[in-house]
Each structure stands twice: as C-alpha cells, then as structure tokens.
Amino acid sequence: MNLSPPYRPQDSGISREGSLLRMTPQRQEVYRMLLAKRDHPSANEVFMRVRGRLPNISLATVYNCLEALVEHGLVKQVNFERGSSRYCPNLEAHGHFHDASRGVIVDVKFKPGMTLADVLELPEGAVIQDVEINLRGQLGLA
Amino acid sequence: MNLSPPYRPQDSGISREGSLLRMTPQRQEVYRMLLAKRDHPSANEVFMRVRGRLPNISLATVYNCLEALVEHGLVKQVNFERGSSRYCPNLEAHGHFHDASRGVIVDVKFKPGMTLADVLELPEGAVIQDVEINLRGQLGLA
DNA sequence: GATTTATTGAGAATAATTCTTGATATCGGG
DNA sequence: CCCGATATCAAGAATTATTCTCAATAAATC
C-alpha cells in the first residue's frame, strides 16, 4: 500500500470492512496525519494539520474523509461527553482515559485475554457491534 | 423527602455530592419523570413528558434541571455517539446497550464484585472520576 | 422586612456537524 | 481511448442540540 502522493488509482482498495475505499490524496493525508501523531485530534485539528500538505482542503472534506475512514474500519471515532469527536487509528480493542486538567486522552489496553464480557452481564443473545469505554479522571504523576 | 407539589422549602437538600440541591417544582417533576419511566429519554422527551404537569416549563429549564440533577449525582447523563444526551436515574455502576434497530437503550449490569479494573490495564496512579461503557448492537429475540 | 442570591422562561447565540450544489476526477463498458 | 455513470471535492448554507443572555420571580439570608 502506497501512502505517498501523488495519488494513483492502484493505491485504492484499503479497507477492513465491506466495500473498498478509494484512497484519494485527501484521505491519504488525513489517514497519514492520524498515524503520525496519535493524540486523538478533533476534525478541526486534523484539518489544521493536513493543510500543510494540502492547502486547498476544506473542513467539510476532512469530515468526509474521517467518516470514510471510520466506515471502512481504519479509524475509530472517540466521543467524550458532548465535546467534538476525536479520531484514533488504534484498531485494537481499547478504552480511553481523558484527563481534562492535562488536556490529554490516552489509550487504555485490556489485560491479556480479557474482554468486557468478563465483567458485564451482557443481555442474552445480544450481538455486539461496537464497544466504547470512556474514563474520566486524573492521570498519576509520571 | 417529599416529591409532591406544591413546593415547600423544607423539601430542599436532596443531593449525593457536595452542596445541596434546591428541589424546585421543576426539578422535582423532571426527576420524578426520570424515575417513572426509565427508558433513557432525551432532554426534549423529558420536556414533553413534564409539560403534562407543568405546562409553562421551558426547554431551557428542563436542560437546567437535568444539569442540576446530574451535577448533584442524582442522575447520569448518557451519551451515544453524537446523538442527544439521555438521562438515567440508575446510580449503580452500569453500562448501556443501544439497539438502534429497536430504538432502545438498556442498562447492563456488572457481574457481582467485578469492575472495569478487572479487565483494563489502568494507568498507574490514575484517579478515576467517572466511567462510561457504551455497547452498540442488536438485542436477542426475547 | 429588606437585600442578596438562585431559578425560571423566552428567545438569541453558539458549536459541531451535515447537507447542498456545481465542478472535477475516476471508473467501467464498449 | 472515449463516454456516460459515479464518486469526491470545496464552499458555504443549513441543521441540531445545547448554552447563553437577560429580565422577572422566588427563595434564602440578613
């Protein structure tokens, strides 16, 4: 998979879910930025970062790209309370810890072999499509 | 604690957290509605239900009341993706399962004695103020 | 009882996101 | 390779849930 511009049709087809995702220059750059700095940026933050390489990109296009990446399973959308959505390229099952006083969100791993089903009484016969675990608080000193 | 109108000052003082909450007729009615039908209504749904008894209440006041109840720990605010916030009077630690095809949100209990800390590798020394667990999918036949 | 503070209701304002539209770009079939 | 069908883009308008502003009322405090 080639993520460098210029865009060439043969770059298309990145996806982890149903249909293929056409990897346009805009989507490439948005995805690249998410991989480069994994600090859970908002759409607007992605917009500002991406403008360095694509000065003509619009915020609406950033939203479109993020939506496409999320729909194709390359990126996770993270929502804390009613704040703006944030985006995370970590595809492993994990939660998020938000320290508002430091203004950071960090990934929280599962203990090896553990899942939510080990602690929750899931409804009988339920099919789970997606799980979201959000913690709020203060990180330790380190 | 008296939750019936008319409002009398001695009804004040309901709270599970820091300062006391003045239990005005509006807050009473909003809280009463949440307890009466625990289907995780949005602010607007609460507004419509509360109008039966308080025809002059405004949506802004419903938001104010919900905010006050949440701040004082009597009600939990539940957020799914970017939809409107929903409100839940179940104060036990629990998660929420959202079945979009049925349009319902159900509470999901923890297994006895279990907590998130049993499955997550929490950051060393972190102080957790709040936890949110949201599941999306389809409930079983029952 | 007078003064201060909190709450209410009505509507305006805000913020994040989505929608609309016309222009471009890509795809697939012949 | 050319052409119609589709997809994507950018710009700005529109939407939606929520918050803010402010004058009026109510309750708490002095």
DSSP-assigned letters across all residues of A103-114: TEEEEEEBPTT-
Q: Which residues contact B77 (CB under 8 A, 6 or more apart)?
A: A81, B66, B70, B85, B86, B87, B88
Are A135 and B131 an interchain contact pair (Cβ–Cβ within 8 Å)? yes
Is B10 a residue whose pLDDT tops 50?
A: no
pLDDT tens string A103-129: 999 999 999 999 999 999 999 999 999
| B94 token code pair | 């629990």
Residue B117 CA to C18 C1' — how many Å?
A: 38
Out of B119, B121, B142, closest to residue A119 by CB:
B119
Give residue A85's pLDDT. 98
Residue A61: is its pLDDT beyond 50? yes
Buried b (16+ CB within 10 A) or exposed e, A58-83: eeebbbebbebbeebebbbbbbbeee
* pLDDT tens digits for range A128-141: 999 999 999 999 88
**Residue whose structure tokens are 């209504």:** B41
Pick from B90, B95, B53: nearest CA to B75: B90
For residue A100, the 8-state DSSP code is T
Give Cβ neighbours of residue B59 (< 8 Å, ≥ 6 apart): B43, B44, B47
Give me the residue from B79, B120, B123 closest to A81, CB to CB.
Answer: B79
The whole-angstrom separation of Cα A141 and Cα B126 is 8
Chain A residues 89 to 128 with C-beta below 7 Å from nucleic strand D: none
B95 near B128, Cβ under 8 Å? no
- pTM (2 decimals)? 0.89
CB A54 within 8 A of CB A26: yes
Protein-covered nucleotides on strand D (Cβ within 7 A): 7-13, 16-21, 27-28
Which residues are CB-neighbours of A73 under 8 A, at least 6 positions away?
Answer: A15, A16, A17, A91
Q: Which helix (H) or strand (E) holds A134?
A: strand A127-138
Contact at CB, A125 and B142, closer than 8 angstroms: yes
One-character DSSP codes across A58-69? -HHHHHHHHHHH
Distance CA B7, CA B26 (A): 9
Q: What is the pLDDT of residue A16?
A: 57
> Would the CB atoms of A95 and B120 count as touching at under 8 Å?
yes
Nearest chain B CA: its distance from A32 CA (Å): 24
CA of A43 vs chain B CAs: smallest distance (Å): 14
Q: Could you report the per-residue pLDDT of A30-51, keeping only the tens digit for each? A: 999 999 999 999 999 999 999 9
Q: State both tokens at B25.
A: 């007729």
What gap in Å lies between CA A84 and CA B118, rounded to an integer?
30
User: What order of strands is seen across the sheet that includes strand B104-109?
Assistant: A104-109, A94-99, A127-138, B127-138, B94-99, B104-109
Residue B75 has pLDDT above 90, yes or no: yes
> Given an 8 Å threshold on Cβ–Cβ distance, is B133 in contact with A123?
no
- Strands in chain B per DSSP E: 76-78, 86-88, 94-99, 104-109, 127-138
pLDDT at A6 over 50: no
Is the Cβ–Cβ distance between A39 and A49 less than 8 Å? no
Q: What pLDDT is stored for residue B140 in this prediction?
A: 87
Task: Return the residue of A nearest to B79 by Cα.
Answer: A81
Of B118, B123, B135, the CB nearest to A128: B135
